[in-house]
Structure 1
């Protein structure tokens, strides 16, 4: 046993559990923690942001780009509250993020005396936004609680967790027993009987469809093996982008998936909520659904599936692929049918959204196959769901159902820190970009080489279009007054350019990636075609 402060014990456990970067913004409640971190900066790199929201977004980007746990640390009260949009997004996209926060003095918690950064019940807020949260109250319990946090990050459905520690507890010292091994994920066994039933059902299907979500990101080879055995299209959606190569003949976006859903007799859904399919597209009584999900609560949240399998996607699909051959029927003409539907969907997107597609084509051509695109709530981001082909897992990062405007730029910085040898491009509108534009300072200070593209139209474009179309052109609170984005970028000491076409955009991205440092590209655009008729498909009878 060693005599350690709580802060030293926590830092040691972060290091033991593989945290090599800590996104942070210091403050008085965490002073002893940062003093302990000072001695371990050879192992854990602190990257401090200009706003707490960016700390959490960068941790989110790190986790999404790698699938591994990440961590951020901020002060309590307003500091923690500033991170909650990112924390709720981590919950939505199933990202393993550890939120580590300070607290007021331990004896004052819950007494409502009005101390600096005091909240009525910070721990309850944490528990409402995470899968688990707790408070460290002594040095001796710190190792166990940190390991418990990582066990939960690694086990079951990947979602954020949180720990808080009082400002006086950080510095408290006592003999501490540090474990020799990091936390391990709980075992997840294969349900052999359910897999066998699934093999029989999907193997006998005439028009099978596979739908994948974020929970299938590590299962791509088995998804592809099963898809090719079945000649089944694989519908990806936002979170499933990259599970299989978007160029593969069986990979289809949601637009083609909508057509296949209406005709399928058996659907194999892997690591996906199936939210639009079940709630919007419609559920026929004769449609049989097989669901594979690590979270048992997800299986029958909307309708009980024909077969529900709780398990890790990769392990379960491997077992399914091994059993499928002896049950698999022939499907003559299925390959031609899939090709025709996919071709029609691609053609329609390229016709309706031609301006957005041209820009997205330029981005795709400039990025290497493993390059990461960070989506935003912008006209280009909406179109990217249907028009941007993703080739590798974890290379299309989206805020999922949370739809977090302004998340993109800071999140892309975390992705680049996590994968420093992988090019990263962020796409934002002029509205969303200014949520975290000050983090160009963080990018410059740490030489984080993200190429950030701002598609500037002088408005919250989606809001303004809805006001024009649905409310008789009564536009309100949707026009924007922007800075000169090139001058703004240059004022932070990063490269900045303005482009006027898709061709110029592609060339600028290539220059930025070649230089390797942070870059801002301003791309003024006018009113763009409405993508929603292609994204929000109507319910089928």
Structure 2
């Protein structure tokens, strides 16, 4: 006990975060978490104050995606934690390492309601429904073990969000604690050698191979490109895999699993290697097509080998470790993928009329943004119809999009988190007017940080996608047309900058200026709504 010292639960928590190299947290202080806040600065942890806990969650998500380190959210009890739950659901869907920490009702709080401030029937049950786990500690000494448990999850398996609840009386209580316990270092999960040889044999014999790359393949960018070139195999990615292979590369089909032509082509491949992707309906925007050939799956999550499309050859492990083991075993023929230009043309012809309105603006953005720029995206037409397929990206850049769970309001706070993490890189948020207003208050957070941050918004006067779906059903559009808001004036009211761009050249000039202007610049592009 000679090396023990008395720590409060709040200090024990912050000490554990610092021991796991946490340098930034996002959140809002409240009555029940003040003991945590008092220790942040002494332990060298910077706090970014959001204006809503959902915004804090998306900011931490963006931070995690661009750093590869867990994003941390600090909330108070009850409504604050539940405000962050949508962000937890999005992080679970997109396999993002997110740690949410909150107080909870006291350790011996009665089962029957007492009317305690922020009293909630069960925060842990609520968060278990959207997170990988929710851990309620029962002593100060257990706090660092709970934090280590979360970081062990982030390091050893499919990264997904976790919640730690510290009863509010334990935050103030003190116990004698020894050295902090931390998550162990774990090597990347290696594949079974027999499965590697089986996969290599299938690829060597393939006459029509294809690669499908998801977000789990991003850490193996060089190996993915090397394998594609060795095989002469066309590459198609999911939204989260965007840019893993340069989208200007002759073998790239970009983000186009939703294309009917690409789906038909993929179904005819004799071998498909899918790395770090669920091959889910949210990737194809429809039920996944049946695959006629051999399916080789690479995934750190063994459940994926029989979920959805079952693997014919299962390579369980970290994508980089698997591909590093697979590459030396593959003897490729460097086939000439001469079908790619024809396939690209067929893909683009399917949606040419729909997508034409965004492409000139996307070209203007591309002309301003550096190759390593970070673009955050929302569930908006200009993003999933526009930027995902038509904004070329390479491994140096990042495109952060809320897939699967499909939240709204992601782009602005995620851009804030990305910019906090990478202040030296260009960061731009892209979305629509409907989604922006879910988290528009985070403009105040961006103003406070004084970091250059353009937010490009296509304004179609409401919920354009739902309006179009209603019309396609033959319904009268209902509850989708919103009264106009002077969004540039709103940005200025928050202390930022706001303007309109009525053409690609105006956007190019406004975006160029915004990159050199401290604080957020909201650039609104008016769209026709009919």
Would you say same fold, with TM above 0.5? yes
Which deviates more from structure 2 when the two are superposed, residues 140-149 or residues 203-212?
A: 140-149
Cα gap change, 1:107/1:362 in structure 2, threshold over 3 Å: closer, same or farther?
Answer: same
Q: Distance in 1 between matches of 2:110 and 2:210?
A: 53
Does the residue aligned with 1:297 lie in a helix, a strand or coil? helix
- Once the two structures are TM-superposed, the CA of residue 215 in structure 1 deviates from its matched residue by 0.6
Instruction: Pick the aligned partner of 2:439 from 418, 436, 441.
Output: 436
Which deviates more from structure 2 when the two are superposed, residues 404-413 or residues 509-518?
A: 509-518
The corresponding residue for 2:24 is 21
Cα gap change, 1:394/1:109 in structure 2, threshold over 3 Å: closer, same or farther?
Answer: farther
- Once the two structures are TM-superposed, the CA of residue 349 in structure 1 deviates from its matched residue by 4.8
The corresponding residue for 1:342 is 344
**TM, length-normalised to structure 2:** 0.94
The corresponding residue for 1:505 is 507
The corresponding residue for 1:457 is 460
Q: Distance in 2 between matches of 1:106 and 1:330?
A: 64
The corresponding residue for 2:87 is 86
The corresponding residue for 2:377 is 375
8 Å CA contact 1:227–1:233 kept in 2: the answer is: yes
Cα gap change, 1:344/1:282 in structure 2, threshold over 3 Å: closer, same or farther?
Answer: closer
8 Å CA contact 1:71–1:99 kept in 2: the answer is: yes
8 Å CA contact 2:40–2:46 kept in 1: the answer is: no
8 Å CA contact 1:497–1:522 kept in 2: the answer is: yes
5+ residue gaps in structure 1?
529-541
8 Å CA contact 2:203–2:209 kept in 1: the answer is: yes
Does the residue aligned with 2:516 lie in a helix, a strand or coil? helix
> 1:494-539: CA deviations, max 9, x gaps?
12111101111121111111224321111111138xxxxxxxxxxx
Q: Distance in 2 between matches of 1:195 and 1:345?
A: 33
Q: Distance in 2 between matches of 1:442 and 1:109?
A: 38
- Once the two structures are TM-superposed, the CA of residue 109 in structure 1 deviates from its matched residue by 5.8
The corresponding residue for 2:322 is 316
8 Å CA contact 1:217–1:394 kept in 2: the answer is: no
8 Å CA contact 2:230–2:333 kept in 1: the answer is: no
Matched, 1:37 2:43: no
Matched, 1:291 2:294: no
The corresponding residue for 2:76 is 75
Which deviates more from structure 2 when the two are superposed, residues 236-245 or residues 275-284?
A: 275-284
Matched, 1:416 2:423: no
- Once the two structures are TM-superposed, the CA of residue 181 in structure 1 deviates from its matched residue by 5.5
- Once the two structures are TM-superposed, the CA of residue 81 in structure 1 deviates from its matched residue by 0.6
Instruction: Pick the aligned partner of 2:268 from 247, 263, 267.
Output: 263
8 Å CA contact 1:110–1:121 kept in 2: the answer is: no
Q: Distance in 2 between matches of 1:186 and 1:13?
A: 22
Matched, 1:135 2:136: yes
5+ residue gaps in structure 2?
none
8 Å CA contact 2:188–2:321 kept in 1: the answer is: no
8 Å CA contact 1:486–1:498 kept in 2: the answer is: yes
**TM, length-normalised to structure 1:** 0.92
Does the residue aligned with 1:3 lie in a helix, a strand or coil? strand
| Alignment root-mean-square deviation, CA | 1.9
The corresponding residue for 1:425 is 428
Which deviates more from structure 2 when the two are superposed, residues 11-20 or residues 383-392?
A: 383-392
8 Å CA contact 2:70–2:154 kept in 1: the answer is: yes
- Once the two structures are TM-superposed, the CA of residue 481 in structure 1 deviates from its matched residue by 1.3
The corresponding residue for 2:451 is 448
- Once the two structures are TM-superposed, the CA of residue 340 in structure 1 deviates from its matched residue by 3.0
Q: Distance in 2 between matches of 1:341 and 1:483?
A: 42
Q: Distance in 1 between matches of 2:472 and 2:286?
A: 25
Q: Distance in 1 between matches of 2:420 and 2:153?
A: 24
Does the residue aligned with 1:520 lie in a helix, a strand or coil? strand
8 Å CA contact 2:199–2:313 kept in 1: the answer is: yes
Does the residue aligned with 2:447 lie in a helix, a strand or coil? helix
Does the residue aligned with 1:108 lie in a helix, a strand or coil? coil
> 1:435-480: CA deviations, max 9, x gaps?
11111111111113221112111121111112222124x1110111
Q: Distance in 2 between matches of 1:27 and 1:365?
A: 44
> 1:400-458: CA deviations, max 9, x gaps?
11111112111111111111111111112111101111111111111132211121111
- Once the two structures are TM-superposed, the CA of residue 316 in structure 1 deviates from its matched residue by 0.2
Does the residue aligned with 1:72 lie in a helix, a strand or coil? strand
- Once the two structures are TM-superposed, the CA of residue 186 in structure 1 deviates from its matched residue by 6.3
Does the residue aligned with 1:405 lie in a helix, a strand or coil? coil
Q: Distance in 1 between matches of 2:313 and 2:412?
A: 40
Say how many residue pairs are matched: 520
The corresponding residue for 1:124 is 125
8 Å CA contact 1:138–1:172 kept in 2: the answer is: no
- Once the two structures are TM-superposed, the CA of residue 202 in structure 1 deviates from its matched residue by 1.3
Q: Distance in 2 between matches of 1:11 and 1:185?
A: 23
The corresponding residue for 2:389 is 386
8 Å CA contact 1:209–1:260 kept in 2: the answer is: no
